[in-house]
Amino acid sequence: MKKSRILSFLTLLIFSVQGSLAQTVTPEFLQYRNSKWVDSVMNTLNLEEKIGQLIMVAAWSNKGEKHKKEILKLVEEQKIGGLIFFQGDAASQVNLMNDYQEVSKVPLLGAIDAEWGLGMRLDNTISYPFQMALGAIQDEELIYDLGKEVARQIKLSGLHVNFAPVVDVNNNAANPVINFRSFGEDKQNVAVKSIAYMKGMQDHMVFTTAKHFPGHGDTDTDSHYALPQINHPVERLDSLELYPFKRLIEAGVGGVMVAHLNIPALDASGVPSTLSRAIITDLLKERMNFNGLIVTDAMNMKGVTNGNLPGVVDKDAILAGNDLLEFTEDVPKAISEIKNAVALKLISQAEIDEKVRKILAVKQWVGLNNYAPIKKKQVEKNINSPHAAQLYEQLVEASLTVLKNDNNVLPLKELEVLKIASVAVGAKKKTVFQKSLSLYTEVEHFQLPADADSSAIKQLQEDLKKYNLVIAGIHDDSKFPRNTMKFSDAVADFIADVSAAPNSIISFFKNPYVIDKLEGVEHASALLLTYQDSEMTQRKAAELIFGGIGAHGRLPVSIGEKFRAGEGLDVNGGIRLSYSVPEAVGMNSEVLERGIDSLMQQAMQMKATPGGQVLVAKDQKIVFFKAYGAHVYHDTTVVERTDLYDLASVTKIAATMPALMKLYDEEKFRLDQTLADHLKDFRRSNKEDIPYRDILTHQAGFQPWIPFWKEMYRNNGSLKWWTIQQDSSARYPVKIAENMYLHRNYHKKIRKAIKRSELRGKKEYVYSDFFFILAPWIVENITDQDFEKYLQREFYEPLGATTLVFNPSQSFSPADIVPTENDFFFRNKLIHGSVHDEGAILLGGISGHAGLFSNANDLAKLMQMYLNGGTYGGRRYLTQETMKEFTRTQFPENGNRRALGFDKPNLVFKGVSNNTAKGATATSFGHTGFTGTMVWMDPEHKLLYIFLSNRVSPSRENNRLSSLNTRTQVQQVLYDALLLPAEE
């Protein structure tokens, strides 16, 4: 003991030489130590009851009635001061805490280990990123916001204390217990992040404890199972391990949790720090001037229980200077031992009273002096609020760290020249990461299990030779990102080979320390670190790779000699769509989801459509994207978000208009030109002098339509012999349906019918398909290129819009294409995989007025390009001036609302019969389609809306979708969601 006291004196002397602490903020709760409420409670407690206040017992909300009775007994008989909750669920925890409070003489202090949020302990709650990931974030305000949000959730769950943050400096890569729980190895970063997290919680009335004093970061032993020894000299401990604790004490942290550690330089006796008066009283309280609440680490851990009896060890912890005992195993024995210590004058009654007053002051600070039962209603819903989800997403995005980016390969551009394969290493099925990559372009996916043998790897390597870019996701199969690796030698060699390839991207979903155990990963063209493996990190990694979001994280720990703490490259994002929550763009998710879901359910119940897809994007973030219903009525094939729909007349703005606007930019197409300038057969027709500006605004006097297919029939109902044959041939190559092949020259009859059609006498708005049927020939005449190939090369392929196609059955499985109508008057079959429009199918399925198919996600890429003023993915497709010209109303003086090819809101709102929602602004534009589709863009709100359905199933006679006004009602929900503030 004498030697220990000498060492303690030397420690104090060294600290004195090194300088004193800066101005320290007194913990706020201490103002209540001598309050009227605390005095009143103290006057009701005898010595045993006071000692009981120093004890916090472990409780679970998933252990049933027997456990509940055990806790109730401890609360009633031993008058314990608090409970620390472990596994269970929030609703059960609230109910139990209310029950326990009801029988407690003094309100109970409720605590939890929620280092990364309630999800650390409770089911169905959010787990935020681990502290190592948070250490990569460069915005401390986000860490503060996390503290604020965790405080909100803890209070909702009936508790008052978070045993967090972890302020250990993790400078030992082999640390088995701190590691990813630490903000990193840089003491300044650890301190700053810890203070931000602490203040976020304490500013919102949740008590916090900095742990694990005096620093658990540099050990390879887990104190849960043994007593770790830290052999650094005092100078090193003072300058590094103790540094974050000093800073938090200066900042006013309420509590400090003491670890179970053997630190000879601070106490040569070998006792755990939890039981060391030299460490707790001499160092923490006297030298470091901490007068807040001192809490033990769990008193059931082997690091303190080995060689120490229950109860006795609790007494020793109190004698050492601790105020609150966490996870006492034998409460009656602990109370008895501490009471005896008072009797033996090992500790004074005044010292016990001072500790009790601190605990009661904490209780008053958190509001327990005015205790009221916690509200039980919708606990989990309130905890898992939209704001909570948004914050989670923000934290993950902000933590992403790019360690390599040779030649700025990230974000990917020029998608049309890339043939991409992804490999999920450590996975046996397609991962969320791989599915998320496919949202951006065509990617072929492979999986490589962690124990794959050389033969499987050899086959994979052969398969990968067909691709010029390989994206490898390195996955972790454990719940926590441990510093371990379970890959076979062959898999590790494969990772090295992929990394050495000229064009490789590695997304590392494991603990960063593992990079040091894999040879060659650092040689990849791009190396992205996410710190942990979750659905969110996988989604965000894919978004980063394609430029939906950027990366600004910095590595919080060193990885051997490969990368040093602080390294990281900025990668700018925002060039493509990303996927987020409505609150991220100022929309109310509850209004959005409830409104759209109810309208879609109504439409399906009323048989207005069997199903559909609805997509909402704002500020280039897709914040709502759902698939509803089935492919057809009474079908088990549910609609997936990847399924293709017939776009019908949306083809006009998704095929004809991008081509014409590009040619307009290139001065190859002018609005004062006419059909006669590009189609020779229209010279000397009644349409040769009508300018395109009139034609594109539907005021050229064209007839609305011609039922071309009817011209194929005789009066007796039989087909004219030369138009259709049952078998395909060189003369009959155009497939209409099975056993229906059209003559190769029938398109000439269509052109001739349009050419010879009479004009309407008045120059007024009358919607017509005629020009758009002719448009592909006009484009081909100008470009000397096939219309479909031109669109693919100039727009769809570089956009990554791989499902935006004509004749989808040629490249997609029928299971991925939603059928349309049961055609009983022309094709006599269910139309599935080919265009619904009769005019378009007579043209081989490729036309400028109908024929395109797509899912909502790929269609959104083209529409977002429009909304961006002609840019997307880092490329300019159209000039901003052209976009403005083609999307403005051209002839309002004629009562014509139309833009050039695009539809616009009615000049005067017409109520339920309006063509758009009331909220749509005058600058908005879009189009609708006969099959039940609608696409609309609003530049003022940067808002994109896509509605895809097959309302013509089973018959086009079904007009319920229009009579219900479903499409525009859904659109109005978007504006309603904008008007209402999101709840926090």
Q: What burial letters (b/e) apply to 12-40, b meaning 16+ CB within 10 Å?
A: bebbeeeeeeeebeebbbbebbebeebee
List the structure tokens of 957.
């006679």
List the structure tokens of 382.
């309130």
Whether domain 400-576 has CATH 3.40.50.1700: yes
Task: Give Cα separations from 163 to 180, 669, 743, 845 (angstroms).
Answer: 16, 69, 79, 65
Phi-psi region of 284 (alpha: psi -120 to 50; beta: other; left: phi over 0): alpha
Domain residue ranges of the chain, discontinuous segments joined by +: 2-383, 400-576, 642-903+952-957
pLDDT of residue 259: 95
pLDDT of residue 928: 98
Q: Are 559 and 531 in contact (CB under 8 A)?
A: no
Q: Are 971 and 920 in contact (CB under 8 A)?
A: yes
Q: What angle do CA 263, 306, 336 make, to 5 degrees?
A: 105
Per-residue pLDDT tens digits for 632-661: 998 889 999 999 999 999 999 999 999 999
Provide the pairing of β-strand 578-579 with 621-629: parallel
Residue 66 CB coordination number (10 Å): 7
Axis-axis angle for helices 770-783, 657-665 (nearest 10):
40
| CA atoms of 324 and 791, how far apart (whole Å) | 71
Q: What angle do CA 392, 398, 403 make, to 5 degrees?
A: 135
Q: Kindly give, in sequence order, each residue whose CB lies less than 8 Å from that of residue 22, ignoring residues fewer than 6 positions away.
A: 250
Phi-psi region of 735 (alpha: psi -120 to 50; beta: other; left: phi over 0): beta
Query: Helix-strand-coil percent breakdown of the chain, rounded to 5?
Result: 40, 15, 45
| CA atoms of 400 and 549, how far apart (whole Å) | 10
pLDDT of residue 22: 54
Provide the pairing of β-strand 871-872 with 875-876: antiparallel
For residue 226, with 0-12 CB atoms within 10 Å meaning exposed, 13-18 middle and 19 or more buried, which class applies?
middle
| CA atoms of 867 and 887, how far apart (whole Å) | 10
| CA atoms of 91 and 375, how far apart (whole Å) | 10
| CA atoms of 481 and 464, how far apart (whole Å) | 29
Q: Kindly give, in sequence order, each residue whose CB lies less than 8 Å from that of residue 565, ignoring residues fewer than 6 positions away.
A: 184, 185, 186, 189, 555, 556, 557, 558
pLDDT of residue 6: 36
Per-residue pLDDT tens digits for 600-638: 999 999 999 999 999 999 999 999 999 999 999 988 899
Query: Could you identify the residue written with the tokens 């040779």?
Result: 406
For residue 254, with 0-12 CB atoms within 10 Å meaning exposed, 13-18 middle and 19 or more buried, which class applies?
buried
Q: Are 800 and 933 in contact (CB under 8 A)?
A: no
Q: Are 906 and 918 in contact (CB under 8 A)?
A: no
SS (H, E, C) 214-251: CCCCCCCCCCCCCCCECCCCHHHHHHHHCHHHHHHHHH
- With H, G, I as helix, E, B as strand and everything else as coil, classify residue 275: helix
| CA atoms of 400 and 553, how far apart (whole Å) | 5
- CATH superfamily ID and name for 2-383: Glycoside hydrolase, family 3, N-terminal domain (3.20.20.300)
Q: Is the peptide bond before 165 cis (omega within 30 degrees of 0)?
A: yes
Contacts 24+ apart (CB under 8 A), 494-502: 494/425, 494/448, 494/452, 494/457, 494/460, 494/461, 495/425, 495/520, 495/521, 496/520, 496/521, 496/523, 497/461, 498/423, 498/464, 498/470, 498/472, 498/524, 499/472, 499/523, 499/524, 501/470
- With H, G, I as helix, E, B as strand and everything else as coil, classify residue 470: strand
Whether domain 642-903+952-957 has CATH 3.40.710.10: yes
List the structure tokens of 733.
């190559």
Backbone angles phi, psi at 55, to 5 degrees: -115, 135
pLDDT of residue 776: 98
Query: Could you identify the residue written with the tokens 């009936």?
Result: 158
Query: Could you identify the residue written with the tokens 């979001």?
Result: 549
Low-confidence ranges of the chain (pLDDT < 50): 1-21, 984
Backbone angles phi, psi at 710, to 5 degrees: -70, -25
pLDDT of residue 437: 98
- Residues forming beta bridges with residue 946, ordered by sequence position: 615, 935
List the structure tokens of 82.
């608090």
Task: Give Cα separations from 774 to 364, 417, 858 (angstroms).
Answer: 79, 31, 25
Residue 941 CB coordination number (10 Å): 21
| CA atoms of 375 and 882, how far apart (whole Å) | 57
Query: Which helix H or strand E contains 740, and what residues bound it?
Result: strand 740-742
Backbone angles phi, psi at 945, to 5 degrees: -135, 130
DSSP letter at 559 equals B
pLDDT of residue 871: 98
Q: What burial letters (b/e) apply to 898-922, b meaning 16+ CB within 10 Å?
A: bbbbbbbbeeeeeeeebbbbebbee
pLDDT of residue 23: 65
pLDDT of residue 721: 73
Q: What is the dihedral angle through the alpha carbons of 266, 271, 275, 280, rounded to the nearest 10 degrees? A: 0
Backbone angles phi, psi at 907, to 5 degrees: -60, -30
Q: Are 28 and 252 in contact (CB under 8 A)?
A: yes
Listed residue (478, 930, 863) closest to 655, CA to CA = 863
| CA atoms of 354 and 341, how far apart (whole Å) | 16
List the structure tokens of 177.
């217990």
Backbone angles phi, psi at 405, to 5 degrees: -160, 65
| Sign of the four-CA dihedral 300, 303, 304, 308 | positive
